[in-house]
DNA sequence: CGCGACGTTGATTTGCCTCAACGATTGTGG
DNA sequence: CCACAATCGTTGAGGCAAATCAACGTCGCG
């Protein structure tokens, strides 16, 4: 239909689903009609604490983060989302009640989003998506479980190394402050870790 | 069929599902045929690391735990499961590959379990269960997210207090060693925390 | 140019671990 | 039923990981 963007970006989303479970043309049509394209500028909020999370978001390009802010002015980052990642406050979204989390854009970011009503309708008209989203949440659950284990059992240095190994493509895009807030340490200490592992790594 | 146990225990499971989404009699029949009752003695393993997680488990009574053991002989507990809780290694189960986690019984425990093949068949014959299990995983994801935030942002004392508030019924059933391994601290330090909060709590 | 955000470094403090010793409780075999 | 071992919870001394606070150099940007 109105594909007057450089490329038609919905094809990215369709291909994403197709790689999980092949879609029929009706289902592709449904996705195209239910998901809406939107762009956010750097530092712009997608969700602010106290508001209800109205959308499930799929990132086309750019980078978002979801975090909780503390009384003392700090933040703790739950997740970054770059190309082909999903991000939302799952609890606020499904219960449609105020969120305690924030989502904002670290870079200029394009996303596709769907509302809860549209998602429910999608589930009804194409039950295949129940399965798709179940699998998505299962994968997210497994990742979160790994991260919790790491946080319980390892030092900050181990966690940093794991982060570097697992998300090398994020390293260059994020400031040290962001990474520290994700790892659960202070930027100062992260700086000391980096220095130490450089000394140890090179001969 | 052979319901020569005190009560027919499958009704507990049926009621559990019914409370989420009402089941038809065919669906109840399916559940009854697919889930199998089993009992484990204290200290018995349901899943041992290196093995493939073959079942999704629903606890009728008793108490299980899932944990990872460390090189140094310690363990880190991911989750306890008492009455009406689910427990399995979601990753090993769905990919049918060896697990790095252990599940064992802290008390004598009765469960219902279903294999992956039976669960897939259940999804096919009653797609409603795709939704049910999606919702289950979503809820588990949300809880895990809260716990991760707590671990990143709070002291051991705060985490202990949160645990007491959230799972008061577990406090009496678990040894301090179990609770410490869940909180990610040593039993010694937990002892010191308890002492401190007693002193602070009373006048 | 000057300001503000970012990264680094050092001194000090705090949270939690390690190790060791000691009662209390549990359980088990004689 | 008792004796013994094993496990559990407590307490203290000492050490390490990471936070806090403060100062400073760098860089991008208005």
Check whether B108 has a pLDDT greater than 90: yes
Check whether A203 has a pLDDT greater than 80: no
Query: Which spans in chain B are helix H?
Result: 10-20, 25-34, 90-95, 116-125, 128-153, 156-166, 168-171, 176-183, 187-201
Other Cβ atoms less than 10 A from the Cβ of A198: the count is 9
Check whether B121 has a pLDDT greater than 70: yes
Q: pLDDT tens digit string along A69-108?
A: 998 889 999 999 999 999 999 999 999 999 999 999 999 9
The two structure tokens encoding residue A198: 């450089």
Distance A85 CA to D14 C1' (A): 47
Residues B103 and B53: their CA atoms lie apart, in Å, by: 10
Q: pLDDT tens digit string along A14-25?
A: 999 999 999 999
Other Cβ atoms less than 10 A from the Cβ of B38: the count is 14
Residue with tokens 């069929």: B1
Q: What mean pLDDT comes out for the span A138-164?
A: 96
B4 pLDDT tier (thresholds 50, 70, 90)? very low
B72 pLDDT tier (thresholds 50, 70, 90)? confident
The two structure tokens encoding residue A95: 């219960």
Could you tell me how many CB contacts below 8 A there are between chain A and chain B? Answer: 76
The CATH H-level (homologous superfamily) assignment of domain A10-129 is: Jelly Rolls (2.60.120.10)
Strand A109-115 to strand A75-81: parallel, antiparallel, or no bridges (unpaired)? unpaired
Check whether B30 has a pLDDT greater than 70: yes
Distance B139 CA to D28 C1' (A): 44
Strand A102-105 to strand A64-69: parallel, antiparallel, or no bridges (unpaired)? antiparallel
Q: What mean pLDDT comes out for the span A159-168?
A: 96
Report chain A residues whose CB lies below 8 A from the CB of B68.
Answer: 149, 153
Check whether A117 has a pLDDT greater than 60: yes
Contacts of A83 (CB under 8 A, 6+ apart): A59, A60, A61
Residues B166 and B170: their CA atoms lie apart, in Å, by: 9
Residue with tokens 């093949």: B117
Residues A14 and A32: their CA atoms lie apart, in Å, by: 8
Residues B133 and B122: their CA atoms lie apart, in Å, by: 11
Average pLDDT, chain A: 93
Q: Is the CB of B151 under 7 A from strand D?
A: no
Report chain A residues whose CB lies below 8 A from the CB of B184.
Answer: 151-153
**Nearest-Cα residue of chain B relative to residue A150:** B76
Q: What mean pLDDT comes out for the span B172-181?
A: 95
B3 pLDDT tier (thresholds 50, 70, 90)? very low
Distances (CA, A) of B38 to B5, B53, B111: 12, 16, 5
| Residue A97 and residue A24 in contact, taking contact as beta carbons nearer than 8 Å | no
Residue B2: per-residue pLDDT: 46
- Counting Cα atoms < 13 Å in the Cβ hemisphere of A134 gives 21
| Chain D bases having any atom below 7 Å from a protein CB | 8-12, 17-22
Q: pLDDT tens digit string along B39-62?
A: 999 999 999 999 999 999 999 999
Q: Is the CB of A127 under 7 A from strand D?
A: no
Shortest Cα–Cα distance, A6 to chain B (Å) = 36
Q: What is the CATH number assigned to the segment(s) B10-136?
A: 2.60.120.10
- Residue B74 phi, psi dihedral angles, 5° rounding: -85, 175
Q: pLDDT tens digit string along A23-61?
A: 999 999 999 999 999 999 999 999 999 999 999 999 999
Contacts of B132 (CB under 8 A, 6+ apart): B17, B20, B21
Q: What mean pLDDT comes out for the span A122-142?
A: 97
| Residue A13 and residue A31 in contact, taking contact as beta carbons nearer than 8 Å | yes
Q: pLDDT tens digit string along B77-95?
A: 999 999 999 999 999 999 9
Task: Write down the domain spans for chain B.
Answer: 10-136, 154-203
Residue B199: per-residue pLDDT: 67
- A11 sits in which H/E element: helix A10-20
Q: How far apart are the first and last CA of chain A?
A: 59
Contacts of B133 (CB under 8 A, 6+ apart): A134, B119
Residue B7: per-residue pLDDT: 62
Residue A201: per-residue pLDDT: 52
């Amino acid at each position: 239909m109105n594909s007057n963007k450089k490329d038609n970006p919905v094809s990215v989303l369709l291909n994403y689903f197709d790689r999980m479970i092949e879609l029929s043309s009706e289902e592709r049509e449904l996705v195209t009609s239910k998901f809406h394209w939107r762009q956010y500028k750097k530092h712009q909020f997608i969700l602010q604490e106290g508001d209800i999370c109205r959308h499930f978001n799929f990132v086309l390009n750019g980078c978002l983060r979801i975090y909780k802010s503390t009384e003392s002015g700090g933040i703790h980052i739950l997740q970054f989302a770059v190309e082909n990642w999903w991000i939302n406050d799952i609890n606020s979204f499904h219960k449609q009640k105020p969120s305690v989390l924030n989502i904002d854009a670290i870079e200029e970011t394009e996303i596709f989003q769907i509302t809860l009503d549209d998602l429910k309708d999608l589930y009804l008209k194409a039950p295949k998506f129940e399965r798709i989203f179940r699998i998505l949440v299962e994968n997210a659950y497994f990742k979160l479980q790994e991260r919790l284990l790491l946080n319980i059992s390892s030092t900050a240095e181990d966690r940093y190394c794991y982060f570097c190994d697992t998300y090398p493509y994020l390293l260059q895009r994020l400031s040290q402050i962001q990474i520290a807030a994700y790892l659960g340490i202070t930027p100062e200490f992260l700086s000391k870790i980096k220095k130490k592992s450089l000394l140890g790594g090179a001969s």
